[in-house]
């Protein structure tokens, strides 16, 4: 798994997209590490904020989507709608930049590594009274609320539908600052088909249509 420093050495023009929270965060590197990245944020929905930020960054750098050599996106956990909006955009943009590559990273893994607190549990709502839980050095888990233990930390701007567990605290989720401290962390995996992270594939129930008839009378 490459680090951000390695990606920038190989692909100096790189666009990073994070739509996992209520705050859209987009970063653009034009010349690898030789120049500071440009960053834009938006607190509007990803369906507009993502494209506004990308358009603004490209305009400032006098670039087009076709000029991007590598895309990096956060696959979650977080806002599934926001992540899938980014995934659809990435699939479309890669048609315009067919030679580009795409990599993914996970939000809670990023926070866990930046905090570097082995006893802390970094959480995000997984719905149905369960939570995504990350700890440094461990695979991501999904845990029912009643089974949460220890220090619980949730990144800011992350939406939740399940009531917050007792004692949970929040930590800053500023992607530009997090990556500044994790330039050499092996965070990324190749992603040929960008999509939102899922613990398991969804299951579907087959529906068999039947003609409704009035009940028979005896």
pTM to 2 decimal places: 0.89
Domain termination site, one of 136, 151, 171: 171
Residues 178, 110 contacting (CB under 8 angstroms): yes
pLDDT given at position 211? 58
Residue closest to 93 by CA, chosen among 30, 50, 44, 62: 50
Residue 46 shares a structural domain with residue 90: yes
CATH number of the domain at 99, please: 3.30.420.40
Residue 96 has pLDDT above 50, yes or no: yes
Domain total for the chain?
A: 2
- The parent domain of residue 45 ranges over 4-105
Residue 97 shares a structural domain with residue 130: no
pLDDT given at position 207? 55
Residue 148 shares a structural domain with residue 79: no
Residues 107, 125 contacting (CB under 8 angstroms): no
Residue 93 shares a structural domain with residue 127: no
**Mean pLDDT calculated for residue range 185-194:** 94
Residue 62 shares a structural domain with residue 81: yes
> How many whole angstroms from its chain centre is CA 126?
14
pLDDT given at position 20? 97
**Mean pLDDT calculated for residue range 192-200:** 81
Residue 206 has pLDDT above 60, yes or no: no
Does some domain include residue 126? yes
Residue 200 has pLDDT above 70, yes or no: no
Q: What is the mean pLDDT of the chain?
A: 92
Residue 43 shares a structural domain with residue 120: no
pLDDT given at position 204? 44
Does some domain include residue 143? yes
Residue 216 has pLDDT above 90, yes or no: no
Residues 28, 19 contacting (CB under 8 angstroms): no
Residue 89 shares a structural domain with residue 123: no
pLDDT given at position 198? 79
Does some domain include residue 208? no
Residue 81 shares a structural domain with residue 118: no
Residue 84 shares a structural domain with residue 114: no
pLDDT given at position 212? 53
Residue 117 shares a structural domain with residue 36: no
Domain termination site, one of 58, 87, 105: 105
Helical packing angle, 80-96 and 46-61, nearest 10°: 40
Does some domain include residue 17? yes
Residue 82 shares a structural domain with residue 121: no
Residue 16 shares a structural domain with residue 80: yes
Q: How confident is the model at residue 137 (pLDDT cuts 50, 70, 90)?
A: confident
pLDDT given at position 126? 94
Does some domain include residue 152? yes
Residue 164 has pLDDT above 50, yes or no: yes
Distance between CA 168 and CA 153 in Å, rounded?
6
From 40-44, 65-69, 100-104, 212-216, the region with the lowest mean pLDDT? 212-216
Partners of 170 in beta bridges: 154
């Amino acid at each position: 798994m490459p680090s951000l420093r390695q990606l920038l050495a190989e692909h100096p023009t790189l666009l990073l997209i994070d739509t996992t929270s209520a705050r859209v965060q987009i970063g653009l590197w034009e010349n690898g590490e030789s120049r500071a990245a440009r960053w834009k944020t938006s607190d509007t929905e990803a369906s507009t904020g993502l494209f506004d930020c990308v358009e603004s960054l490209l305009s400032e750098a006098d670039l087009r989507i076709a000029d991007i050599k590598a895309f990096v996106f956060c696959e979650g956990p977080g806002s599934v709608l926001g992540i899938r909006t980014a995934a659809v955009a990435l699939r479309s943009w890669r048609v315009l930049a067919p030679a580009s590559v795409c990599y993914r990273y996970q939000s809670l893994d990023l926070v866990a590594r930046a905090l570097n607190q082995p006893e802390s549990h970094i959480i995000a709502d997984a719905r149905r009274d369960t939570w995504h839980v990350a700890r440094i050095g461990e695979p991501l888990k999904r845990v029912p609320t009643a089974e949460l233990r220890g220090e619980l930390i949730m990144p800011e701007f992350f939406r939740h539908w399940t009531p917050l567990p007792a004692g949970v605290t929040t930590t800053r989720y500023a992607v530009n600052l997090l990556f500044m401290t994790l330039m050499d962390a092996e965070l990324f995996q190749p992603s040929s088909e960008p999509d939102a992270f899922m613990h398991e594939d969804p299951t579907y129930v087959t529906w068999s249509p039947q003609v409704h008839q009035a009940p028979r009378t005896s």
